[in-house]
Chain A
């Protein structure tokens, strides 16, 4: 019996059976003849099933896959990469599956430090479950096998931004790909990126202009070379583009935009002269503020918003002034009034708009990464916000200040601040550290855990926290210092203490991170 024959017979039997012998009424003799094998004579239904069994087995046993030229092998390049241990990869997968999910970036950083790549067989789990941000920061940790894989699975193709910016992808990609490509180009060669952008700018749709302007704002590398382009964008049809261009221009202290802003500010803020002599030193200098009367077209064009945001409790004219201050580089004030940072901030604090102006200065200092200003402002914000009455926005401003400080300087800002607080201000410590989304150094960690230890043993204050109150401590503290400090605190903490749960949760997080380190770094 040929393959075609047997298939035909099987199909005929299937149709008969589907319809039912009541309706189809085949003849037993024909079924027996069709079976092509000796099957017993009997009623029609079992005969049909027996014929089907023969036909089915015949086909199953006779199935042979056809030979064909194997597809041309597209083999991953041999890579001489060190692969992370199987245990480390298991832990990464557990995190990607939801357990301590937020520690994934740390795993990637540690793997990168250990110079290992994710084992190839774990890559699909990683590529499927890493966020876009995590993927782009993962880079080398994904290894060369990931690059090979992403070419084969379209779902992963957006993963990789090639190290070499490609004008091809910039010209022909989707909006997301073009943004990624522009970001890469901006990092590698800011002038090249500007050149790309200038060529296509006039034909880009508004959404693309907003997105690309965002790239310029966030990818760093803004310089005087960009000024003409940004200045022109202040006249864009889309408001978001105009505001983003103004925000970019604030990074260029020598720009015409900055000069115009200075011209606006000069008549509005004056400072009393420094007096000589002992008495003069004791009397603090004072600021005299004049609120702007109106906003002219140039001010609007430069990005000053006429209306304050709905939730902000501030008058319109004060809002204008605050925005101008936020746009100005902080060092300008010291130059202008010939004073040091503390003197100026002291004077600001005595004005009617102290909070708003300090927050505006904090914004400017964050942008300029001016460590002296960051440090002075952070200290002042903390000292000034009593635990009872935290001004809205203050701890976020604090966090933004610290996040903007270069990592090498951050510890020098944070540690003295923590050292200046005591356990009665623990709520403030919690608030500040919670807002902070950067890793703490060893010194800050030691200070924070000393405060925690004192607070845990302080029976005079009642416990009023959720059990996950220390979650951000677990993810940001220096693991080695924190583990040692916490072990002592837990040892001394009685079982019945309301802190027990929070401390155990924290301890578990630190143990998880310790294990992660052990698996990756040793």
Chain B
């Protein structure tokens, strides 16, 4: 049930789905090994034909809703997961055809991947790169002037600027094909209105941006991995096809936690993995535009045997799933947690190698919780405290779970605050989730 909930694009869709998840509304319900389907009466003249491919959780429905999955697909899954009897019958044509076309498309994709690619015209490619470099250079000059202007007018003046002030500069950087820099400029606006001590945060953001501009101008002088990191931060993407050609790291990867973010068009799913043998962490990003579903490949608490390829970075973190193996996974185990001194020491050395690092996935523990005036802190065995992010609302849930005993917390550490994603207590992993507006902690494994 809770997994169906996670597929819902928003709470309203889930609510609507619950009202649809009644066998009385459905005809021609059926299922096979691979799929479940049915026809649901809607406001139109013909019932909507709804089908769900259970293999990779893909949906199709004839309703006009632009949400994906729509309430009908969710409703169907809710009934399926909720134990409503759905007979295993032969597939009606509307399911059969859809599955067939999906299989065909998947095969075509594999075939395309296997086919030797037309070698790209290296000259044309070089010209494109050159052109983009010139644009970025132009963008950097504008950004330089803009930053200098803020400092000469003063942060207080910048703070009272309208949102346009920030978005215009960001847009100019998008036009200059430096979307990474644009994102940072957008972020500055939030820092300027971030409440008490905003000056510190805004100056720190501006200073880091200046450092990035300086670094980009000196790419050749930087060690190659850091140069790659800086280029990525500016907005160059690393070619995934080429990346997948390289040998990866095969390991038993433990899914430590997941999180989704939405902006207007794009939904991003973060999945953090830890390798049992390699002792490395990896971040897999999945994107969905508009109404596309996010792939449900990973689930918190799962252990998968897979080969991952890392993007270049200092240290490498983001990775791609190259291949997944069907061997039985072993029992999960969180990476060994570290105490607060180790955490701070490790972060300092990461910063020394990459001064642009803004957060890093860590497992901290054993710690106990301390809740004072609604803010939660974690305390390690030596009594060292770390505070949690302002938006962390699960303090009491964690406290209730641990009952004053020790636990380990997986989260993102930014040098000041821990932003928890999941917690482990008594050998079990719990993920921080929301049910509507209620913060909840749910057992993942």
Contact = CB atoms under 8 A, between A and B. Distances in A.
Interface in A69-90: 69-71, 73-76, 86-87, 90
Interface in B1-60: 1-2, 15, 18-19, 21-25
A149 B151 contact: no
A508 B154 CA distance: 62
Contacts, number: 193
B206 interface: yes
B387 to A, nearest CB: 10
A152 interface: yes
A20 B207 contact: no
Interface string B56-70: 000000000000000
B181 to A, nearest CB: 15
A20 B438 contact: no
Contacts of B19: 508
A507 B79 CA distance: 13
A507 B401 contact: no
Given A18-B199, A63-B415, A518-B83, A96 B438 contact: yes
How many B residues touch the partner, as a band? 35 or more
B101 interface: no
B1 A87 contact: yes
Interface residues of A, number: 70
Contact of A19 (B24, B149, B154, B386): B154
Given A19-B154, A94-B435, A153-B396, A50 B207 contact: yes
Contacts of B436: 97-98
B147 A45 contact: yes
Contact of A490 (B24, B211, B430): B24
A515 interface: yes
A389 B152 CA distance: 84
A76 B436 CA distance: 29
A511 B383 CA distance: 50
Interface stretch (B236-244, B286-294, B309-317, B343-351): B343-351
B410 to A, nearest CB: 15
B155 interface: yes
Given A90-B1, A97-B436, A503-B24, A53 B211 contact: yes
B443 A20 contact: no
A273 B219 CA distance: 116
A61 B348 contact: yes
A129 B399 CA distance: 18
A312 interface: no
Contacts of B396: 124, 149, 153
A13 interface: yes
Contacts of A49: 147, 151, 206-207, 209-211
Given A63-B416, A120-B401, A121-B401, 7 more contacts: A17-B154, A18-B155, A20-B152, A45-B148, A61-B352, A91-B1, A508-B19
Interface of B: 1-2, 15, 18-19, 21-25, 82-84, 144, 147-149, 151-157, 199-200, 203-204, 206-211, 214, 340-341, 344, 347-348, 351-352, 355, 368, 370-371, 379-386, 396-401, 403-405, 415-416, 430, 435-438, 440-443
14 contacts: A14-B200, A18-B155, A45-B149, A49-B207, A53-B355, A57-B351, A67-B383, A90-B435, A119-B443, A121-B401, A121-B430, A121-B443, A148-B403, A503-B24
